Chains A and B, each alone.
Chain A
């Protein structure tokens, strides 16, 4: 059996165990252990990439009719995703050494990061639903641990709770979907389900319902509407965490899962449409919300939401390859942008409001240039990577003859360019708007080298020559029209953003609806409170009146009542006794002599 996939999977786990058990106090050693574990995984991922496809596994729990198998499947999708996860992960681990240099909880942080790598690699390698679900939940736990790393801040602790609970909602639907698929096909292995699905799923209800339920998991994990509310709050965690988990890998797990189980979606047009329109809706909403945010990490978070939604929409357009291509490029440039933002934040001593920044072009040159590369890649400027992948999605929309989707994606492209240029101009150009900005300096090399390394794939990963090494992206018709429209969209967006925000000291446009994120959080709060109050009242009523009053006190009262009634039989009246005696005798005679009726 090929040992490489197992080593890839378990090396970060062993690293986490070592940190937790042994090197808690030795923070530097913990960080090195963690980086080493990920490096091992990365090197082996490269070798797996150049190796053969395959699949293997063992049975972990065997209860006769119920078996949980742990195994891996290596195919094109797995190889690509392994590279992305371990590669980006390695760079972020190195960056973290610099970013968290003065943090007291460094060991805990690196242990959490290693646990996360273990869980994410488990999702990538999984060859059956149950294993994927186990690691799915583990990823949620790691995210909770890492978001709440600075748990002394109540906002961080609340954000961690929110992330976990909202994820749980999605996971509930996911679990129902897994059970439904299992019940229909009798198996949880992806290859077996793939063979049996169209023949065993005969009722149209199951054909539509199963993929939709599975999609719930993606809605939760990849933060689609209506479960998107946790991702912006997750920015409370350290910036490398935001880069790794909430930009490049964990949130991409939903898209990955959809690609892995795409055979479930193909037969059902309804499911595909639902996926498409949730993706488009989330994308537009997030892009609108991003145009009014003042926190550098929040803008990037909404941008992540928007781009993820584009990948999901690509799935809905029956173009999983386009979606995975965009995931691949997005992982590199979004991680780059987040790490760049982290560099800015550290340089300004943890200042995150963009209106307190400005003029950093001269003060932090490496950060400036790499951030520029990332921005250009994100908005889809050729020849950077984002241009190719976003075009792939636009072309898929045209190829599917879905004009509303095409227009929506074009609008999103415009908005993306607008808010990213707003962010870039306000942060790096103009005069410095605060003292901390005036005293900023470039970050240490341990942080800038990963930035440069990430800028390389952001630049070249889109070229067809490069892509064909890793991946096959099918041709779509109408690719030319897509190029034209997307170019017009991003150019207008970028130019309008640049002109509006140049040389400004505060935000000239103020749209409260976008700034307050369409008030969705407030609506949820009211809804949750209302539901809880209702449940509490019903339970209280049942407890007080039915259980306590009816059963408990009722039994007591009934016993007392009986006693009270029977008391009248014994009041000392001799003749009453004789009377009752006589009644008893008569009844007894009647029943004995003439039989009970």
Chain B
């Protein structure tokens, strides 16, 4: 993928991610998050992970964010009023973030292997959905079943947690 496209997608992703955390209104935040996820799906595709890109859009954008918006609408959350800012906490948080970014850059520029070109893919005759499926059902069958059970448990939990008190 050409660097130009790559950096555009990264820019979109980061800008809208900042939009998520900077917006006053929860709805605006949720919609920014959707856009960020789409850009991320684009990055997946640029890495030849087509199946995952599709899953990202479908699951995250289609299910998770819909759920978020649904809850925001349910609770009828208004834009947040400004409260007194604890400047010491904000400052501390920013310092930690900046330190983390600094470590990130130091690590990346020390990682020699990371400047090599991606090796070429020589064969994908069946498409990666087939390969992922085979890996999933052959080698990771047990984790698959476990995750399935986890989702079942989560659904039951959600129903119980959001029950109103029975009078």
Q: Do A and B come from one complex?
A: yes
Neighbour of A593 across the interface among B92, B97, B99, B106, CB < 8 A: B106
CB pair A582 B107 closer than 8 Å: no
Cβ-defined partner of A586 (8 Å) among B89, B100, B107? B100
Q: Report the minimum CB–CB distance from B144 to chain A (whole Å).
A: 31
Q: Is the CB of B107 within 8 A of A593?
A: yes
State whether A576 touches B89 (Cβ < 8 A): yes
Interface bracket on A: 10 to 19
CA gap between A575 and B89 in the complex, in Å: 9
Bound complex: CA A582 to CA B96 (Å): 7
Closest Cβ–Cβ distance, residue A570 to chain B (whole Å): 16
CB-defined contacts of A575 to chain B, threshold 8 Å: 89, 93
- Judge whether B103 is part of the interface by a CB distance below 8 angstroms: yes
Q: How far is the CA of A462 from the CA of B103 in the complex (A)?
A: 110
Interface pair A589/B103, CB less than 8 Å apart: yes
**How does the 8 Å CB contact mask read for A526-552 relative to B, with 1 for contact and 0 for none?**
000000000000000000000000000
Chain A 468-488: CB-based contact to B (< 8 A → 1; otherwise 0): 000000000000000000000
> When A575-B89, A576-B89 are in contact, do A583 and B103 touch as well, CB less than 8 Å?
no
Mostly helix, strand, loop or mixed at chain A's interface?
helix
Residues of B at the A interface (CB closer than 8 Å) are 89, 92-93, 96-97, 99-100, 103, 106-107
Return A496 CB to nearest CB of chain B, in Å.
102
- When distances are taken between beta carbons in the complex, the residues of chain B under 8 Å from A582 are 93, 96-97, 100
Residue A594 is within 8 A (CB to CB) of chain B in the complex: yes
What are 18 A-B contacts defined by CB distance under 8 Å? A575-B89, A575-B93, A576-B89, A579-B89, A579-B92, A579-B93, A579-B96, A582-B93, A582-B96, A582-B97, A582-B100, A583-B96, A585-B100, A586-B96, A586-B100, A589-B103, A593-B103, A593-B106
Whether A577 sits at the interface, judged by CB under 8 Å, is: no
- C-alpha gap A589/B105 in the complex (Å): 13
Cβ-closest 10 pairs across A and B = A582-B96, A586-B99, A589-B103, A586-B100, A583-B96, A579-B93, A579-B92, A586-B96, A593-B107, A590-B103
Which A residue sits closest to B104, measured CB to CB?
Answer: A589
Kindly state the separation between the CA atoms of A593 and B97 in the bound complex, as whole angstroms: 17
How long is the Cα–Cα vector from A593 to B106 in the complex, in angstroms? 9
A554: min CB distance to chain B, Å: 32
> How far is it, in angstroms, between the C-alpha of A593 and the C-alpha of B100 when the chains are bound?
13
C-alpha gap A586/B101 in the complex (Å): 10
Query: Secondary structure at chain B's binding surface: helix, strand, loop or mixed?
Result: helix
**Interface contact A594-B106, CB-CB below 8 Å:** yes
Residues of A within 8 A of B106 (CB): 593-594
In the assembled complex, which residues on chain A have CB atoms less than 8 Å from the CB atom of B92? 579
Residues of chain B contacted by A579 (CB below 8 angstroms): 89, 92-93, 96
Q: Which residue of chain B is the closest to A585 with respect to CB atoms?
A: B100
> CB-CB < 8 A to B107: which residues of A?
593
Chain A interface residues toward B at CB < 8 A: 575-576, 579, 582-583, 585-586, 589-590, 593-594
Enumerate chain B residues within 8 angstroms of A585, measured Cβ to Cβ. 100
For the complex, give the distance between the alpha carbons of A579 and B92 in Å.
8
Identify 6 new A-B residue pairs, CB closer than 8 A, beyond the known A579-B93, A585-B100: A576-B89, A579-B92, A579-B96, A583-B96, A589-B100, A593-B107
Shortest Cβ distance from residue A245 to the other chain B in the assembled complex, whole angstroms: 87
A51 vs chain B, min Cβ distance (A): 102
A580 to chain B, nearest CB (A): 9
**CB-nearest residue of chain A relative to B93?**
A579
B102 to chain A, nearest CB (A): 9
A153–chain B nearest beta-carbon distance, Å? 83
| Bound CA span A117–B99, Å | 93
Tell me the smallest distance from the CB of B80 to a CB of chain A, in Å. 15
* Bound Cα distance A102, B93 (Å): 102
- Residues from chain A with a CB closer than 8 A to the CB of B97 are 582
Residue in chain B with minimal CB distance to A584: B96
Give the most central of B97, B103, B106: most A CB within 10 Å: B103
- With both beta carbons as reference points, the residue of chain B lying nearest to A573 in the complex is identified as B89
Contact residues in A for B89 (Cβ distance below 8 Å): 575-576, 579
Cα distance A593–B111 when bound, in Å?
A: 11
| Cα distance, A594 to B110, chains bound together (Å) | 11
Q: Which residue of B lies closest to A575 (CB)?
A: B89
A residues near B103, Cβ cutoff 8 Å: 586, 589-590, 593
Complex CA–CA separation, A9 to B105 (angstroms):
98
Q: For the complex, give the distance between the alpha carbons of A472 and B133 in Å.
A: 128
Given the complex of chains A and B, what is the CA–CA distance between A585 and B92 in angstroms? 14
Q: How far is the CA of A576 from the CA of B100 in the complex (A)?
A: 17
Q: Provide the bound-state CA to CA distance between A576 and B89, in Å.
A: 8
Closest to A587 in B: B99
Q: How far is the CB of B136 from chain A (nearest CB, A)?
A: 31
Q: Give bound CA distance, A576 to B97, whole Å.
A: 14
List B contacts of A589 (CB < 8 A).
100, 103
A489 to chain B, nearest CB (A): 101
- State A579–B90 Cα separation when bound (angstroms): 10
CB distance from A595 to the nearest CB of B (A): 12
Closest Cβ neighbor of B96 among chain A residues: A582
Least CB distance, B18 to chain A, in whole angstroms: 18
Across-interface contacts of B100 in A (CB, < 8 A): 582, 585-586, 589
CB distance from B110 to the nearest CB of A (A): 8
The interface residues of chain A lying within 8 Å CB-to-CB of B93 are 575, 579, 582
CB distance from A330 to the nearest CB of B (A): 95
CA distance A582 to B98 in the complex (A): 11
Provide the residues of chain B in CB contact with A583, threshold 8 Å: 96
Kindly provide the distance from the CB of B1 to the nearest chain A CB, expressed in whole angstroms: 30
Closest to B110 in A: A593
Min distance, Cβ A574 to any Cβ of chain B, angstroms: 12
How far apart sit A593 and B107, CA to CA, in the bound complex (Å)? 8
Give the distance in Å from the alpha carbon of A205 to the alpha carbon of B106 in the complex: 74
Task: State in angstroms the CA–CA spacing of A586 and B99 once bound together.
Answer: 7
CB contacts (< 8 Å) of A586 on chain B: these are 96, 99-100, 103
Please report the C-alpha to C-alpha distance between residue A585 and residue B96 in the assembled complex, in whole angstroms.
10
Q: In the assembly, what is the distance between CA of A498 and CA of B90, in Å?
A: 112
**Closest-CB distance, A38 to chain B (whole angstroms):** 97
Residues of chain B contacted by A594 (CB below 8 angstroms):
106
Q: How close is B101's CB to chain A, nearest CB, in angstroms?
A: 10
Q: What CA separation (Å) do A78 and B105 show in the bound complex?
A: 100
> What's the least CB distance linking B95 to chain A, in Å?
9
Nearest chain A residue, comparing its CB with the CB of B107? A593
Q: How far is the CA of A589 from the CA of B108 in the complex (A)?
A: 13
Compute how far the CA of A579 lies from the CA of B89 in the bound complex, rounded to whole angstroms: 9
Rounded to whole angstroms, the CA-CA distance of A579 and B103 in the bound complex is 17
**B33: shortest Cβ distance to chain A, in Å?**
19
- Who on chain B is nearest to A593 by CB? B107
Q: Please report the C-alpha to C-alpha distance between residue A597 and residue B100 in the assembled complex, in whole angstroms.
A: 18
CB of B84, distance to nearest CB on chain A (Å): 14
Interchain nearest-CB distance for A568 vs B (Å)? 13
Distance between Cα atoms of A583 and B89 in the complex (Å): 13
**Complex Cα–Cα for A575 and B93 (A):** 9
Inter-chain CA distance A575–B99, complex, in Å, is 18
